[in-house]
A = this chain, B = another copy of it.
């Protein structure tokens, strides 16, 4: 849930659990926002937006209810902040992978999809998507934002990979005729609907990834499939 920004988390844990173990009335203005973010993210993921009480978020962050409002002006803005925070960190790194890669398309796919798997399933990207989806039309602005930041970037990256494959003569069909969403779909399924479609153990997931890759790359049918 909270692997999105491991560095901050580490920092925070140090301060909290080592230096000032059980005190009340601490002052940690710098660390607070991300702590609250984490707490909120965890609870939003667990219960959805509406069913998450700000008091519980505060409790989980180890602070009082009112303190949340020192850093976020409302429950909604906390949610927004959590979403933005994760979107940015999630979508970074993936695109960089692509540009410098020199191996085969299959290897590149393996690398990129593997990376996305991690972000989506072990990280928080899937969680956020789930909330966004579930809250219906409550957050049209956030949906728009998500589409701009996360989707657009993801699609662009994927298009890049396909173009590259096309240039190398590895594609069966023109790159333009492939919708990147279909390639990412199984991941999204796992991320969004883990509980529903079957929350996998890490081992399962690796296997799922392999099959996903194989399916996407080579398809189901044998060359001589009777049609």
Contacts and interface: CB of A to CB of B under 8 A. Distances in A.
B195 A225 contact: no
A29 interface: no
Interface in A105-137: 105-106, 129-137
Interface string A199-227: 00000000010011011111111111111
A173 interface: yes
Interface residues of A, number: 65
Q: How many copies does the complex hold?
A: 4
Interface in A178-193: 178-179, 181-183, 185-186, 188-189, 192-193
Given A147-B196, A217-B221, 18 more contacts: A47-B136, A47-B138, A104-B226, A133-B133, A133-B196, A134-B134, A134-B136, A143-B195, A146-B196, A171-B221, A171-B225, A172-B218, A177-B211, A179-B208, A181-B208, A185-B185, A185-B189, A218-B220
Interface of A: 45-51, 104-106, 129-138, 143, 146-147, 151, 162, 165, 168-173, 177-179, 181-183, 185-186, 188-189, 192-193, 195-198, 208, 211-212, 214-227
Top-5 shortest CB links A-B: A134-B134, A219-B219, A50-B50, A218-B219, A170-B225
